[in-house]
Every structure is written in C-alpha cells, then in structure tokens.
Structure 1
C-alpha cells in the first residue's frame, strides 16, 4: 500500500463565503467547498464579518479578525471541522 505525500504545501489564493458554503481556491487550481455548518462562528456571523478575511502566511490558512476565527488549508483538506456545541 502506498501513502500519498504532498510535493508542495497547498496554499489558498482566494476565499468566498456565502450563507451556506466556505469556498477556498488553491494555488494549484483546486477549489474546496465546505459546508458553513462545519464552522459555527462563520455560519452565525453577518455577511459583512464573513467578508472580512485575510490569508495567514503565504496562504496556509484564513483568518477572520472580527470573528477571531482561523482555519487552515491543511485542516480543510483533512476534513477537520469545529465540534458542535453541546
């Protein structure tokens, strides 16, 4: 059995957040579409706050300063989501 290894670190180049989806465009042309349900802070935020993001580092992650939310590209690729509130 072989193991997939990444030749390069995937980097975000653009982010689009709708009322239901987080869309992250990567530098290699891939696009990640993730349900906003996975990230309650983003889901519950206003459109204006969701639109105020910036890339972390060279694009390793995304930061929303008004929401104190950080999401890594690697985490998205691995399928990580925030736990649901109890």
Structure 2
C-alpha cells in the first residue's frame, strides 16, 4: 500500500483533512474530490507519484480522474473494515 501511504502523507499537509487525533478525514477528502476542490487538486499535483496515478494528460492539459481517486479511497476504507 505504498501509494496509499504516499497519499495519506501528502493529504495530511492540509490541516482540514486531519482529525484531532491525527487520522485522515477520508469523508472530507472524498467530498472535496467530488467538488473538484482546487486545494485538494493542488496537493495531488505537488506529488509526482500521485499526479501520475490520478491525472490524465489530454493534449497537454492534466485532467483529474475523480472516479479513480474516490474509488481508491473508498476501497481503502472497505479493506480497513
């Protein structure tokens, strides 16, 4: 789960995505992703591994693969339960 660990580390740079006990607020992140939040997208773009995974290059423009990102987080939630 190296990619998830990298994602979690990157997202924890934003205090609004972290609970008081230091856990990632996945439901907040998913909501932000569903609304194409600029702050979230900027965090993802700042990490080359995450950028390669969750963005598609279309004629020189990076497009956020929202469905893949949300599925990735939801799958991780399911595996933890």
- TM-score scaled by structure 1? 0.28
TM-score under structure 2 length normalisation = 0.29
Structure with higher Rg: it is: 1
Higher helix share: 2
